[in-house]
């Protein structure tokens, strides 16, 4: 399947054409519910796993985070996908007519991504064990085993989005509305799984690199899901889900006691250390939705030229001054969490965590990187719009 050229005017919820009545969905299949629950569990597991690494260290593969990720991708998402493929392959011909055929098997197109994603994710476990035995504890998140894990998680969410989109396009209007919210939820989870946080930490928020990372990692998923859902405020809804989960994670994880099991321990950690306060994506998301509504009926390239840079500049306008607040003593509380540091983080010992890190040495370097961010935002937004238009048409 390829991304077809976008259309100038997007169909409304009511105008989505349906397939034959014999395969029209009249209620949300339990397999879709399992897929969404699996996506949510894997997100909770990934957040807990990162906190575990920052607070305790990786003492075993069988940590709560790893178990939740495995349950989400395998026990829920993988089982639902396998069931859908097997029952479609050996089920009524009408179901096979509304499915894809791969390697002699029939099933929803998105469901075929889940087993491969599960294989990638479960393979990352023993790979990670070997990596730790060979090279010791991770100095940063970006390692080959973690990259394989991210690929597995990302692939499972993409498959879920395609599966839900195909179900939407075979459903009556009332059911479409409910399914579109599930699509937005999975889209937001997929967006959270993008590892842009590696380059968007508090100390990097006054660097152009931070906004380049966002431009490369966020608009494609956000625009695709918003476009595919046909919701008026699709970008805003995803940003709200992203921020709600980020804040809940930051507020709830520190309630769980934890102590480091490895050294060196630079910080006195007594509880799980969460990720940082989420980026203020809600503001650029609102701007993006307003522009998309204003430009409805215009070409996708024109939308991308306006929406992409507006998204990045909108984030810059709010995140830059907010970063100054996060660097102040007023943010060192449980609400904003800027006083949390991993046990092996030499913050306050080898460096000042409340001073910005200089990435671009000159003003021209900053301007060049920011120009790259604006250009990248146009391309990733255009890709997202094309993907979203394709999801409005997919039925298998």
The total of other beta-carbon atoms located within 10 Å of residue 371's CB is 12
- In degrees, to the nearest 5, what angle opens at C-alpha 264 toward C-alphas 263 and 266? 125
Long-range contacts made by residues 364-369, C-beta under 8 angstroms, separation at least 24?
365/208, 366/207, 366/208, 367/208, 368/208, 369/207, 369/208, 369/209, 369/212
C-alpha to C-alpha distances, 342 to 53, 100, 304, 311, 339, nearest whole angstrom: 8, 46, 39, 31, 10
Dihedral of CA 295/300/306/307: which sign? positive
The number of residues in the chain equals 396
- Here the tokens at position 231 are 């919701």
Q: Helix (H, G, I), strand (E, B), or coil: what is residue 86?
A: helix
The total of other beta-carbon atoms located within 10 Å of residue 159's CB is 25
Rg (C-alpha) for the chain, rounded Å, is 22
Q: What pLDDT, on the 0 to 100 scale, is given for residue 384?
A: 96
Q: What is the pLDDT of residues 178-214, one digit of tens each?
A: 999 999 999 999 998 887 888 999 999 999 999 999 9
C-alpha to C-alpha distances, 25 to 83, 161, 171, 227, nearest whole angstrom: 17, 16, 5, 21
Q: Assess contact for 62 and 79: CB atoms under 8 A.
A: no
The total of other beta-carbon atoms located within 10 Å of residue 101's CB is 13
Mean pLDDT, consecutive 10-residue stretches, the chain (396 aa), reads: 40 42 65 92 89 81 81 83 88 77 84 75 66 60 69 82 90 87 94 85 96 96 94 95 95 94 87 94 97 94 97 98 97 95 92 94 96 98 96 86
CA distance linking residue 76 with residue 41, whole number of Å: 9
Q: Quote the distance between the C-alpha of residue 348 and its chain's center.
A: 32
pTM metric for this prediction: 0.84
Q: What pLDDT, on the 0 to 100 scale, is given for residue 117?
A: 72
Q: What pLDDT, on the 0 to 100 scale, is given for residue 3?
A: 40
Q: Assess contact for 77 and 34: CB atoms under 8 A.
A: yes
CA distance linking residue 239 with residue 284, whole number of Å: 9
Provide the 8-state DSSP code for 197: G
- The contacts of residue 21 (CB under 8 Å, 6+ apart) are none
């Amino acid at each position: 399947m390829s991304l077809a050229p976008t259309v100038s005017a997007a169909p409304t919820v009511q105008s989505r054409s349906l397939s034959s009545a014999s395969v029209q969905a009249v209620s949300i299949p339990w397999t879709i519910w399992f897929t969404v629950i699996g996506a949510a569990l894997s997100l909770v597991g990934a957040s807990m796993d990162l906190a575990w690494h920052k607070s305790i260290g990786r003492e075993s593969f069988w940590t709560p985070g790893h178990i939740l990720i495995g349950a989400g991708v395998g026990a829920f998402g993988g089982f639902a996908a396998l069931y859908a493929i097997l029952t479609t392959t050996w089920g009524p011909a009408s179901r096979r007519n509304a499915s894809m055929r791969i390697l002699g098997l029939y099933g929803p197109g998105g469901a075929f991504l889940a087993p491969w994603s599960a294989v990638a994710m479960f393979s990352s476990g023993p790979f990670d064990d070997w990596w730790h035995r060979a090279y010791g504890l991770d100095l940063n998140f970006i390692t080959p085993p973690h990259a394989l894990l991210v690929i597995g998680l990302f692939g499972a969410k993409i498959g879920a989005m395609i599966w839900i989109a195909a179900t939407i396009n075979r459903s009556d209007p009332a059911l479409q509305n409910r399914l579109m919210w599930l699509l937005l939820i999975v889209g937001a989870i997929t967006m959270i799984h993008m590892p842009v946080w590696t380059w968007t930490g508090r100390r990097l928020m006054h660097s152009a690199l931070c906004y380049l990372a966002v431009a490369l990692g966020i608009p494609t998923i956000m625009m695709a899901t918003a476009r595919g859902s046909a919701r008026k405020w699709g970008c805003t809804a995803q940003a709200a889900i992203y921020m709600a989960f980020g804040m809940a994670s930051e507020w709830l994880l520190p309630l769980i006691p934890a102590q480091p099991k490895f050294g060196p321990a630079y910080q006195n950690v007594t509880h799980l250390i969460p990720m940082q306060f989420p980026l203020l994506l809600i503001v650029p998301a609102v701007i993006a939705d307003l522009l998309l509504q204003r430009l409805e009926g215009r070409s996708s390239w024109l939308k991308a030229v306006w929406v992409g840079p507006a998204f990045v500049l909108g984030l810059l306008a709010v995140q830059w001054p907010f970063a100054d607040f996060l660097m102040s003593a007023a943010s060192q509380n449980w609400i904003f969490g800027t006083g949390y540091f991993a046990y092996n983080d030499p913050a306050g010992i080898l460096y000042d965590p409340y001073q910005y890190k200089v990435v671009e040495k000159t003003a021209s370097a900053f301007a060049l990187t920011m120009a790259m961010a604006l250009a990248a935002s146009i391309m990733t937004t255009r890709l997202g719009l094309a993907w979203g238009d394709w999801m409005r048409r997919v039925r298998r």
